A and B are shown apart, each in its own frame.
Chain A
Amino acid sequence: MTEIFGIILIEGLIYGIMALGVFISFRILDFPDLTVDGSFPLGAAVMAACLLAGIPFIPAFMLTFAAGSLAGVATALFHNKLKIPGLLAGILTMTILYSINLRIQKFSPNISFLRVETLFDKIHSIMKGMMGSTWSVLILLVLVTFVIKTLLDLFFHTDMGLTLGAMGDNEQMVIAQGVNPHIMKMIGIGVSNGLVALSGAFAAQYQGQADVNLGRGVVIMGLASVMIGEFLIRSNRISLLTLRVLLGSVAFRGIMFLARNLTFLSLRPSDLQLIYGLSIVLLLLLTGRKQKKNKRSV
């Protein structure tokens, strides 16, 4: 039973990193960025390529982050230079990434990690005898998400981070301060997708494979996590805002676990996308009732 909680926490934290990215684009920048569905499997693909090539973990994760950031920067460029809506810019990058991901995976839609040592295998072998694999993986992920969260909190306290925070709120004010809003969007969407790619790299290693279809519905999962988090804590402090995203992600995993195990519903794995979608509808209905006056919905 406690094992199940461990797994829910692990998945919650892995996808929580992605949810932090979604939080930056959807909430802080008010930019509905769908690149996420492409940059998540991009992270998995880059990580797979790095592992197969024998690149050590730290540079591999840095490469993953960089690849995701590039995808985000591409979306921001499409939006800024071609003057297309953010939604379309994201879909454009997402579509392009499908082919790119396949190329990175050498045209195989699925790469198994059976023959390589993933970060989780490594941790498990180091901690062997002291604790079970679930717990060693969980401790590692708590550390990783804590570091990422703290770095993000610090970033949003810098002058640049504060200005980024004003982007979604009042772009005109950012322009009035002599700051180029295009560059701000590039930085924000870049960091956001870098985090999403990191999350994809962790998810792939946890599942033991990189799959080009790994990204389907990810942005919806992230958004659901962000919205659940908003139910849990109300605050205007960035450290609590990032914390509630992670908590929301864990809660979302928990709810999904319950949904899967309600046997009378006889749900199949293929029903997951349906549940993700419906959970957003439900959350929107709930938040809509809670704050009728607030005009921003998603």
Chain B
Amino acid sequence: MGKQINVALIGNPNTGKTSVFNALTGLNQKVGNYPGITVEKKEGVCKLPRGVKAHIIDLPGTYSLNASSLDENVVIELLLNKNDKDFPDVAVVVSDVENLKRNLLLFTQIKDLEIPTILVINMSDRMAYKGISLDIDYLERELNTKIALVSTRKNKGISELKELIANYKELSIEPCMNASSIDEAYFSSLRKAFPNQLLYKLWLVITQDVNFGKTDRKTIEDVTNFKTKTKADLKRLQQKETIKRYQFINDTLKKGQTIDLKSAKDLRIKLDRILTHKVWGYLIFGVILLTIFQAIYDWSSVPMDFIDSAFASFSEWTKSVLPEGAFTSLLAEGIIPGLGGIVIFIPQIAFLFLFISILEESGYMSRVVFLMDRIMRRFGLSGKSVVPLISGTACAIPAIMATRNIESWKERLITILVTPFTTCSARLPVYLIIIALVIPEGRFLGLSFQALTLMLLYLIGFGAAVGSAWILSKVLKIRSKTFFVIEMPNYKVPLAKNVALTVLEKTKAFVFGAGKIILAISIVLWFLASYGPGEEFNNAEQIVTEQFASNNLSDEELQQKIASHKLEHSFIGITGRAIEPAIRPLGYDWKIGIAIVSSFAAREVFVGTLATIYSVGSDEEETIKNRMAGEVNPILGGPLFNFASGISLLLFYAFAMQCMSTLAIVKRETNSWKWPLYQLVVMSAFAYIVALAAFQILK
């Protein structure tokens, strides 16, 4: 078998490019990052006829080869670099049959790069519905390509596409038009200066300042002695180029495509009349959000309780089966409760990503952006900030990456800075367990107090985001062009396969990403809690026995006293006691202090840490929740987790910046340590003050 064929999938956003990718690769795909940047890299393997295999890359969606964002840069950088190991043997340009005219712009540019190119016309099942008919032979001739009519929804045309990829060597690499006629003189001098280089490649490098190999804009302009053009002149030429390309496309489609408007039906208009309506639009959006939150709360509580108790019994079972010793106790008291703290997330995260991917796949998210733009602008944000703020309820990391399509730097920066306030799924376990402990059961208007509290916390998070955005918009002195354009795609019923793959892959990424940190921290914590320096720890048994000699304690009570004495004088106990003065005014003891400190790496560690700390030295099989309910405040007496300290903790977690991964992403996206540090200090200080005030008022 020969080498794999490298295939690059390229296309405008909303053309169903990812559906084509999923249809070709199925589960044989993996998601990573391009080295050094946070752009998602999706690749997979596809079996072609006659035993040939193809390595397929799903490149980020782009409207043209004139990149205006990091994601789009990836596309041109790959296409310009022949030495890249992923450089495509064949480019597959995916277009949507309803937007063929616009989609072909990118196609003509890629043809100019002289890469063998296949044109996929996707969503062909919509042709009859829209009254569109195509003269494929004519289009193939004019565009110098092979066309695959594909419907991923109806699973049609995929095998034809595979056949075309396998036979890529037969494809023409002739451009389908001559773009250099926009300025003959300029282009011919360019050709003279670099006779071995592709003309269009040079043009792309000159206009966008990207590097390919050793050639960049400066070296081109230094070497050639023709007059350098100004930025404005170049932009005018780019505009001319765009017009030229559209002329060619219009001429081609005039003969190759007929649209019978009489037989065309349009669902879009009917739906948009309601969904983007001045009143109904907002009402529907509100109802959708409420439904999502209620569903996440209701649907995930059962599997979460199950996971919680399953891990408690698993830990107990391990202890009873394995011989006693350090390894068993590390497993039963460190690793298993730590793992439980990860697995318990899966239901919520899966549900959140399920809803978010349905909103995006259906085309509804763009309508929300449209509806919210004016309102968000008042707070210094963009309508496009809504998407990060909503997906921030799953995780701030993908949310911050989703800000890339915000055109104005100031609006984008503000969105990045305030997104960590939204209630991410890592806060949920902390919220859920504390709510269960301190908020009484009962109902108000049919909604439980506990669900209402959770909803309130979401609102507080959102309010903090919007409020701080408003302040930032007044404080930050950044001049940047405000510009906003968003495509309003057709409504589509989401493809189950796409949604399922997104949910699977995002959940996996989260569990393994966060899981590694949590597991490592829980092992370290177990060591710190199981060992200690000095007499007090090593002779705990003797000290406690002597101390309580006259109290007539039962054996069991005595063992507990010894265990807690040991914990207090272990390494972790000593650290916790050292910071206790700072957190006592907030209503916390040193154990909560340890949990807060360890959760500075990631919020979700909080519950796992408490689980580890409380299970060290304890024999009984108990859920985390019951253990926490049994804790007594050492100074004030009464349960440690009462209403005042509970509310204080909830508010602390609502505002504090406790996620190293988010800080790392913010550093990457803003390209400076200034903004993440600013976030860390301001958010944590605010969290401390609010939590302090809450406890002092409520106690």
Is B one of A's binding partners? no
Q: Which chain B residues have a beta carbon within 8 Å of chain A's beta carbons?
A: none
Q: Which chain A residues have a beta carbon within 8 Å of chain B's beta carbons?
A: none
